[in-house]
Amino acid sequence: MRIVIGGAAGFDDVPVLRELADRHDVAFAPDDAALAEHLPTAEVFVSWTFRGSGLERHWPLARRLRWVHWCGAGVRPALFGDLVASDVVLTNARGVFDRAMAEYVLGTILAFALRLPAALEEQRHRRWTYRHSERLEGTTAVVVGVGAIGRRVGELLAAAGVTVHGIGRTARETDTVFGRVHGRDDRVTLLGRADWVVAVMPDTPGTEGWFGADEFGAMKPTARFVNVGRGSTVVERDLVEALRDGRIAGAALDVVAEEPLPADSPLWTLPGVILTPHMSGDYEGFEDDLCRQFLRLLAQDEAGVAPDNVVDKQAGYVPGS
């Protein structure tokens, strides 16, 4: 089988995949020129970079391609018209990042509750300032996006004594994590109850700008907002105004609309904001786990079984995630 790995220069970049060389014809496409050279013979294309691979530019060359594996949870860069309209199967990295991202959410919520940003600031100034902290037990979180990652977030927060509510694409009356899942029509009521609002939504046309002035206006002035989904789901100017005007108490943002965040963004200096560079799922060793996942999906394909994590290309996500 001819497998082309885009965004990697060789097996030194993906050592766990070295075993492929024994039974498959593997080529690497670290740049545009290499991709144009190897894509015409590719049956399987692995995009090692989740932000984009040049595949759309060179799609007319992909004459033998039958499967694209995207090494990320979000697949928006892969959902260009020609691929969506084709019979090419698209899979993603669902499942690799769930636990790490849930731990990030719990960690940032704990940082807010324990007032760690204020403590670190006082430490920098060598000030011994006594303060109270907050208890998580008895607080309420609303998780927007109840796929695999959102469900793991709900489980961890519930284990810490937080009451969790979920908002999904469609409402359902029973759910093992959230009790029930609410639809978008319930968002104003639910957001008004929340101490913590966690966004775990993918980047799709249906989620763009989901959080705006109405949503932030519905939240309590003591509430904090955590976004580990995609920056496109938030109207950033509305978030900035809500923070600046004290309509919400803080935000932990692992994703923003423009990445890297521009140096002149007000988010850098607004009080109550924790910023991280899109790394909530990137734990030590995650690259090896991505490789192991692809090997497992490849083994399914070789056995004639449809691989896990097949993306609904019209919807932009794996059904059930």
The label of the residue with tokens 């001819």 reads: 2
φ, ψ of residue 47 to 5 degrees: the values are -90, 105
Question: Cβ-count burial of 48 within 10 angstroms (0-12 exposed, 13-18 middle, 19+ buried)?
Answer: buried
Crossing angle of the two packed helices 98-113 and 148-159, in degrees rounded to 10: 40
- What angle is formed at CA 155 by the lines to CA 69 and CA 72, rounded to 5 degrees? 15
Instruction: Give yes or no: 172 in active site.
Output: no
Instruction: Give yes or no: 278 in active site.
Output: yes
**Active-site choice (38, 58, 182, 278):** 278
**Active-site choice (19, 121, 208, 259):** 259
**Strand stretches in the chain, DSSP E:** 2-6, 25-29, 44-47, 67-70, 89-91, 140-144, 163-167, 172-175, 179-182, 196-199, 224-227, 250-253, 273-275
Instruction: Give yes or no: 151 in active site.
Output: no
**238/42 Cα distance (integer angstroms):** 45
Q: Residue 271, preceding bond cis, omega within 30 degrees?
A: no
Contact call for residues 42 and 62 (beta carbons, < 8 A): yes
At 183, list the tokens: 């639809």
**Active-site choice (69, 224, 230, 247):** 230
The label of the residue with tokens 């995609």 reads: 230
The helix/strand/coil state of 89 is: strand
Any idea which residues carry the catalytic annotation?
230, 259, 278
